[in-house]
Amino acid sequence: MARGKKKEEEKIHAPGTLVIVFIFLAWFIALYVLQWALLAVNWPIR
Amino acid sequence: MTTQASQANFRTCPTTGLQVHRPAELLITVNAVAAVVFLTVGGILALLLALTRWELVHLLPADLFYRFLTAHGITMLIFWIVFFEVAGLYFGATVLLNARLVTPRLGWAAFALMMIGALLTEVMVFTGQADVMFTAYIPLKAHPLFYLGYILFAVGALVAVYLFFASVVVAKQERRHTGSLPLVTYGLVVAGIIATFTLICGAITFIPAFFWSLGILETYDPAAYRLLFWGFGHAAQQINLAAMVAIWYALATLTVGAKPINEKLSRLAFLLYILFINLGAIHHLMVDPGLSVGYKIVNTSYLMYLAVLGSMIHAYSIPAAVEVAQRAKGYTQGLFGWLRRAPWGDPGFAALVVSMVMFGFLGGVTGVIQGMMQLNMMIHNTLRVVGHFHATVVAGTTVAFMGLTYYLIPLIMRRGLISRRLASWQPYVYGSGLLLLIAGMMLSGDIGIPRRSWSIAGGGFSSLSDITLGMVGIGAIVAVVGGGMFVYIAVFSLLFGKDLRKQS
């Protein structure tokens, strides 16, 4: 029973979703860096 | 005899085969209708406000701007959302469990309390006796009936939440369902737990404010009020989050037959919301002097990220479940063949995608970034914050609720959609308007334009503001057209849609 369930879980195949997840992460990183850059411009350390 | 009598209160849904408790069905309908009425009022106010912030149009005078801003915030963030959530809770406790709503009379009492409270608050705001904004920060003082309205609404909603919990428990006792709760109902239980905390916080916040406005209480510490208020104000949006994610799972199942790829993990992700999401509400108090820097950072960063982890799990598992379901149907071509062949013309699926993409890419990401101490200093009290919560509450929660409504109308209200074609376009029209509106708000915030400001003339802002505030105005017009399409479909389907009762 447990083995059958495990086999079923192994069948999960969602490569398209994985690509979407990486696009999302890239967007997150880009926005995050941009915000820190904007902060550095607005509040410069002199 | 009793069992026979109570069984007569059920009908069988011809589409799903589920048992629908008639008294619950009626309560779901009235709460959903009340929600749509408040959505309509809030939407009209939204247009007037956006056309005032667009400096070229600058529609309203200053006093009406602040009055309508107060009304818009309360109507949309509290009344539209909570009435619909109560409808959703009753749906999750009865229809999804094949069960009855215990003591429907209490449901009507809750509805009456919520409606009286909402109307009291609205009347006080519209008659100019509560120009205090959504937050009603002390020492701004409103008419006592404004606070009383809030308290009555909170008590009514609390009764509705406990009716939901009682119905879930009784469904188990009466063996109306076996095994674990369905994932959607589980998500709604999480929303109910967060709602309990939220509504109690609301009562603790507004009861002293009520006595203070009556003059019985001489002072009310503004810092204490702010801390308590955000236990209510932001936590209310976390109810939305849990309810919205539960509805995403429901829409994925209803539209493409998706099943959660790892149900235990999805349940764990919901659990993370209960434990950590409300702690992030401290981000509203980033500049408050009464709290230590360490307290602020621990709550808004480390602890909040555990709730974000929950959202990340849902953000992967729902699209993956859709992909697995689509591939099982034979749509296996390439990486995105499953997505190309998805039912884009189904209003429920369109709403699911618009809601998930805009919530994740705009609302969630910006929320995590600007909830952080250092970055918060840059955008604090600018339109950027407003852009963030329009991406979460409007583009995320409201669109998801609209998507569910397209299923509630035929399944619960038993009316055919008045125009399926219009319904299939509605999420895209609404979503594109919101995209422009939100982008305009966020860019405005990034160049420093303040929120809650009738005019920025003479503020020395970049000339880019003409473009970014123009985006806000045009985006609002398109979004209101999309919102109007939804209200038209919902109301006209209910009144003139094909009667499906004969089928059952």
Determine the residue of chain B that is closest to A22 in CA distance.
B316
**Residues in chain A whose Cβ is within 8 Å of chain B:** 9, 12-17, 19-21, 24, 27-28, 31-32, 35-36, 38-39, 42-43
Q: What is the pLDDT of residue B2?
A: 45
The C-alpha angle with vertex B111 and arms to B107 and B117, in degrees rounded to 5, equals 145
Q: Do B316 and A43 touch (CB under 8 A)?
A: no
Q: What is the pLDDT of residue A2?
A: 52
Q: Do B375 and A39 touch (CB under 8 A)?
A: yes
Quick: pLDDT tens for B379-404: 889 999 999 999 999 999 999 999 99
CB B306 within 8 A of CB B280: no
Identify the bridge partners of residue B11 per DSSP, sorted by sequence position. B20
Q: Which residue has the tokens 């509605």?
A: B426
B367: CB partners within 8 A, 6+ apart: B388, B392
Contact residues on chain A for B323, CB-CB shorter than 8 A: 14, 16-17
Q: Among B245, B251, B255, which Cα is nearest to B397's?
A: B245
B58: CB partners within 8 A, 6+ apart: B51, B52, B455
Q: How far apart are CA B137 and CA B441, in angstroms?
A: 23
CA distance A7 to chain B (A): 13
Q: Give alpha helix (H) positions in B8-137.
A: 22-53, 62-74, 81-94, 104-126
- Band of the pLDDT at A4, cuts 50, 70, 90? low
Q: How far apart are CA B326 and CA B478, in angstroms?
A: 32
Contact residues on chain A for B360, CB-CB shorter than 8 A: 24
Q: What is the pLDDT of residue B462?
A: 87
Quick: pLDDT tens for B423-442: 999 999 999 999 999 999 99
Q: What is the pLDDT of residue B31?
A: 97
Q: What is the pLDDT of residue A5?
A: 56
Q: Which residue has the tokens 């967007």?
A: A27
Whether the per-residue pLDDT at A6 is higher than 60: the answer is no
Q: Which residue has the tokens 């950590």?
A: B276
B365 closest CB neighbour out of A20, A31, A39: A31
**In whole angstroms, how far apart are CA B185 and each of B31, B177, B250, B312, B341?**
18, 12, 10, 20, 29
Q: What is the mean pLDDT of each run of 10 residues along chain B (504 residues)?
A: 64 84 95 98 98 96 97 97 96 94 96 98 98 96 97 96 97 92 96 94 94 96 94 91 97 95 95 89 89 90 88 95 96 96 97 98 93 84 95 97 95 94 98 98 93 91 93 98 98 94 68
Give the SS3 label for residue B59: coil
B261: CB partners within 8 A, 6+ apart: A12, A14, B317, B320, B321, B324
A15 closest CB neighbour out of B335, B374, B446: B335
For residue B47, give the amino acid letter.
L
- pTM of the predicted protein model: 0.94
B464: CB partners within 8 A, 6+ apart: B443, B447
Q: What is the DSSP string of chain A?
A: -HHHHHHHHHT---HHHHHHHHHHHHHHHHHHHHHHHHHHHHS---
Q: What is the pLDDT of residue B260?
A: 93
Six-digit token string for B436 = 């422009």
Whether the per-residue pLDDT at A11 is higher than 70: the answer is no
Whether the per-residue pLDDT at A12 is higher than 80: the answer is no
More confident residue, B115 or A36: B115
Q: What are phi and psi of B106, to 5 degrees?
A: -65, -35
Q: Do A20 and B327 touch (CB under 8 A)?
A: no
Q: Among B178, B187, B322, which Cα is nearest to B266's?
A: B187
Quick: pLDDT tens for B181-194: 999 999 999 999 99
Q: Among B166, B127, B121, which Cα is nearest to B148's?
A: B121
Note if the bond before B23 is cis, omega within 30 degrees.
no
- Band of the pLDDT at A1, cuts 50, 70, 90? very low
Q: Do B320 and A12 touch (CB under 8 A)?
A: yes
Identify the bridge partners of residue B20 per DSSP, sorted by sequence position. B11
Residue A37: how many CB atoms within 10 A of its CB? 10
Q: How far apart are CA B448 and CA B462, in angstroms?
A: 9
